[in-house]
Amino acid sequence: MKIIVRLLAAFALAATGLATPNFASAQEKTAIRDGFEFPQDRRARVLLFRPSIKVGAQSTGGMFEPRAEWTEAARVNIEAALDSYQVNLGHVVVEQPETFGYDAQLVREYQALFGAVARSVIDYQFFIGNRLETKKQDNREDKFRWSLGPGVADLPGAENADYVLFINTEDHYGSTGRKILQVLAAASVGYGVKSGLHAGYAGLVDLKTGDVLWINADYAMGGDVREAEGAEKRVRQLLEEFPLASEGAETQR
Amino acid sequence: MRLLRFGKLGLALAAACAASAPLQADDFAVPPYEGAYQPQGEDERGLWMMADEDERLLRDSRLVITDEALNEYVRGVLCRTIGEDRCGSVRLYILRVPYFNASMAPNGTMRVYSGLLLRVRNEAELASVLGHEFAHFELRHTLWGFKRARTGSDLVAWTTLLGAMAASYGGATSSSGADIQTSVLGTIYRYKRDHERAADLLGFGYLANAGYRASAAADVWRGVMNESDRSAEIRGRRTNRYDSVAFFASHPTDLERADTLSYFANRVQGGEREGSDAYREAMAPWREEFLKDQLMLGDFGASDFLIERLAGEQWSPDLLYARAELYRGRGNPRDLVASADFYRDALKQDPDLANAYRGLGLALLRTGNRTAGSEAIKIYLDRVPNAEDAGMLRMMMEQ
Amino acid sequence: MNITTRMRWFALGTLAAVAATQPLAAHKLREAGVTVEVAKSDLTVTPSVAWNRLNPRTGKDNETWTLDGEELNDVTFYGQVEEGKTLLLEVDKRNRPLPRFSDTMLLTDIPPMLETTYRIARDLRLFEITGMEPAELSGHKAIRFTYEFVGPDEVRRKGEADAAIVDGALYMMTYEAPQIFFFDQSLEKYRQLRDSMALG
């Protein structure tokens, strides 16, 4: 627990009386690609995959251990919440066709890649105090340029859609995170008062270019996804700033 | 006292009897087969469903060895041990996982790891483990104390040390949300002591019926425990605990375990069948690969012990080669000298073992014997001109 | 680094930022055209585009550069790794120690050393060396090798590395990125860095 010691030392320093701004609220969580606008003349088709969901516990050794029962519960809850929330997405939601074998594998690979991009956006463009200089420059110029690459056109169902909406959640319930974050909570820094990790990433991607047009990404989202109400809260939080009007979407399957 | 029924009552009786009375010959009796078991009640059905879902993922996994000959052989040993009737309820999967383990799920899925096939030396030893696992299944132990989690740190460690042939796990969850890794590798059930004893008794019953040498069971356990000890010793650690070994996470074990098995073995009317030759023959096409997987674990003590145990009285070229690779991998000055000797010994027995020339050459180069090392590598390249590292080897000879 | 480690560093950085009114974990810009020393050794490189050097280091003798974040593109320099040193920081020294460099090692011993190091330190699911060939690093004989791996985040990655052993010490550069889109995207930029490398 060397990290804890250093944290406490830093905290002690901080306690010598400097103002503690609320970093949580100061941090960006969403972004839109500069210049992006949905076409107004027609309804855009949004491909929606079954979300990537991971739920587990943090062992004392700091390792993440997936928990099947929790993940199953979360899946049922999140999918139900998403089903009822879809009407708010506007436009035509095209659901993922049944996939097997190679196609299913490809979807999983893109979901994993989207997760990596989302984390990079949070870490290196959003998070104050951790931004890369090159990303700071982008921020100054109002640029948001991230992409998964044009290979997204190979995703199953891409031929029937204009955009794809990725949704990933990852929840770690555990002791290590809790200790650190309780220290932070005590310092009133406001970052992630909840214990562990409760990450959610939602991203709208252009199926022709792979460009990320809109993203909402955060490591400290609300709602216990193992419960129906918590999952609803999480889905709302993920999609509340989806850049579309909410006039009754059609869902195509 | 006969094991009359398979309910909790039957087991409790059996346990009570076993604990209080000395063993009788018919304690090992195998009861008549009662037909395929069906799950009863919501909990059991739920467990079966999860096990079925796991099996679906397992079937598609690249970790499964599908080779017909190997599967037929291992299944053959299993069926001879538990009888054809019982064998019908088992679906056997051999997984390319370099750890000693075998397990059964409540729905009849049996997983045997390649690490187990590498370590046992004959059919009797294999039969003793498979029989023991099936006994847990027959006695419905797998339905109790169900724990759907990964335990046994070597199993967790293994997932970071698997070779190129391993599965890619793709998405984090299956459609039911199960962790694919757990589904494919199998859940670790931790059996209680009285379950262990009951499974031992029934397991020995199977062995005896099949005519196998019952003391093989003690040999296997002793071997795995000694390997664990040697592994710890080389790392400079002292331990009497075996929890880090996946198999022992299921079967709590202590220093007396092998003795207990010997004790049982001496009291059952067993046979003398060992099947060493048949076993060696069946494993011949696989040993080199399984040994390579083992070496990749980077556990010097365990690998050294294991190779020695396999050699027994007689060192075959493939074991000498494996030993040479092991020592060269650790790479201390004395190891390099020893490894060169092992490669030479392997070549004496099998002059066609081209890879040994490569290893010998590299060991010699590392000890500074440039001339001899280059000569050996040259021989290797003559025999395998399209080797993947041919370019590198040529460059290294030039220096 | 994995998500848990990252979270810990965020926490640290956040508090330290509060304390110092300046980010502790600031990543440094590496400007195009400016020759810089890397990995606290006598290795230098001259980037052709602007890169970012990441804090903290993942090993005592290394340094990581990135364009978009180490999960998307990761160039790591290892400088003067001497006898007995590991490539990365130990994660479980007692039970699963990392391999150590030995000055008698041959170039062909370096890929397996990287493989075992990664398997342990990065909790990999899968690792495979896909090719190797002789090369040159700043006039010294080197090994160039390629590999693929999958970690706990389930992202399939490709790697390309160059390593040389000079005066009994290891010098190495690795480039790793997701196989989909990102590896090819920055491969040329990595190779420019590699070709600009000078030792001594």
Range of the domain at B350: 315-398
Contact B389 C108 (CB under 8 A): yes
The pTM is what?
0.79
Comparing C45 with A66, the larger pLDDT belongs to: C45
Fold entry, domain C28-199: Protein Transport Mog1p; Chain A (3.40.1000)
CB contact under 8 A, B298 and C116: yes
pLDDT by residue (tens digit) across C20-67?
Answer: 444 446 899 999 999 999 999 999 999 999 999 998 889 999 999 999
Total structural domains within chain B: 2
B105 vs B375: CA distance, rounded Å: 54
- State yes or no: pLDDT of A81 exceeds 80: yes
All residues of chain A having their beta carbon less than 8 Å from the beta carbon of residue B150 are 65
* Same domain membership, residue B38 and residue B149: yes
Q: Does the CB of B171 have a partner CB in chain A at under 8 Å?
A: yes
In angstroms, the CA A115 to CA A107 distance is 12
CA distance B179 to chain A (A): 6
Q: Which of A56, A63, A108 sits opposite B171 (nearest CB)?
A: A108
Contact state of C102 with B392 under an 8 Å Cβ cutoff: no
Residue type, A43: R
Instruction: Return left, alpha or beta for B314; rule: phi > 0 is left, psi -120 to 50 is alpha, else beta.
Output: beta
Same domain, B153 and B224: yes
pLDDT interval class at B166 (50, 70, 90): very low
pLDDT tens digit string along A161-197?
A: 999 999 999 998 875 544 554 555 444 343 433 457 8
Note whether B365 and B255 are same-domain residues: no
Residue C116 touches chain B, beta carbons under 8 Å: yes
Boundary residue ending a domain (B267, B300, B323): B267
- State mean pLDDT over B252-274: 83
Q: What is the pLDDT of residues B292-306, one digit of tens each?
A: 888 877 789 989 999
Name the residue with tokens 């490894």.
B339
> For B81-124, how does the pLDDT look when each residue is reduced to its tens digit (9 = 90+)?
999 999 999 999 998 888 888 988 888 999 999 999 999 999 99
Task: List the subunits that have 3+ CB pairs under 8 angstroms with A.
Answer: B, C
Distance between CA atoms of residues C145 and C159, nearest Å: 8
B23 vs A252: which has the higher pLDDT? B23
Residue B158 pLDDT:
41
Asked whether the bond before C56 is cis by omega within 30 degrees of 0, the reply is yes
- DSSP category for residue B45: H
Pick the residue of C28, C68, C93 with the most A CBs within 10 A to test the interface with A by mutation.
Answer: C68
Mean pLDDT across the stretch A83-99? 82
CB contact under 8 A, C3 and A199: yes
**Average per-residue pLDDT for chain A:** 79
Q: Which tokens sit at B216?
A: 């093989």
Both B343 and B261 in one domain: the answer is no
> Which pLDDT band holds residue C3 (cuts at 50, 70, 90)?
low
* Per-chain mean pLDDT for chain B: 80
Q: Minimal CA–CA distance to B326: which of B318, B335, B334?
A: B335
C104-142 pLDDT, tens digit per residue, is 999 999 999 999 899 888 877 678 899 999 999 999 999
Q: Which residues of A touch B (CB under 8 A)?
A: 52-54, 56, 63, 65-69, 71-75, 104-105, 107-109, 111-112
Give dist(CA B212, CA A31) in Å, integer.
70
Does residue B333 sit in the same domain as residue B246? Answer: no
Taking the CA atoms of residue C178, residue C180, residue C181 and residue C187 in that order, the dihedral angle to the nearest 10 degrees is 50
B199: in domain = yes
- For B141, the 3-state DSSP assignment is helix
What is the rounded CA–CA span in Å between residue A90 and residue A244? 6
Question: Are residues B108 and B248 part of one domain?
Answer: yes
A92 near A249, Cβ under 8 Å?
yes
Is the same domain home to B234 and B321? no
Per the model's pLDDT, the better-predicted residue between C59 and A244 turns out to be C59
Is the pLDDT score of A148 beyond 70? yes
Tell me which residue in B169, B329, B366 faces C104 most closely, judged by beta carbons.
B366
Q: How far is B245 from B230, CA to CA, in rounded Å?
A: 13
pLDDT at res. B292: 86
Evaluate if residue B187 carries a pLDDT over 50.
yes
Nearest to A108 among B50, B170, B179 (CB): B170
Nearest to A13 by CA among C13, C14, C20, C12: C20
Q: How much is the CA Rg of chain C, to the nearest whole Å?
A: 17
For the domain that residue B338 is a member of, what is the CATH number?
1.25.40.10
Shortest Cα distance, chain B CAs vs residue C125, angstroms:
5
| Position B146 confidence tier, pLDDT thresholds 50, 70, 90 | very low
Neighbours of chain C (3+ CB pairs under 8 A): A, B
Q: Do residues B171 and B243 share a domain?
A: yes
Q: How confident is the model at residue B174 (pLDDT cuts 50, 70, 90)?
A: very low
Nearest CA in chain C to A5: C12
Give the pLDDT confidence score for residue A103 in this predicted structure: 82
Point out the residue among A130, A177, A219 whose CB comes nearest to the CB of C25. Answer: A130
B151: nearest CA in chain A?
A: A65
Residues B201 and B333 in one domain: no
- Is C94 in Cβ contact with B169 (below 8 Å)? no
Cβ contact, residue pair A68, B172, below 8 Å: no
- The burial class, CB within 10 Å (0-12 / 13-18 / 19+), for C195 is middle
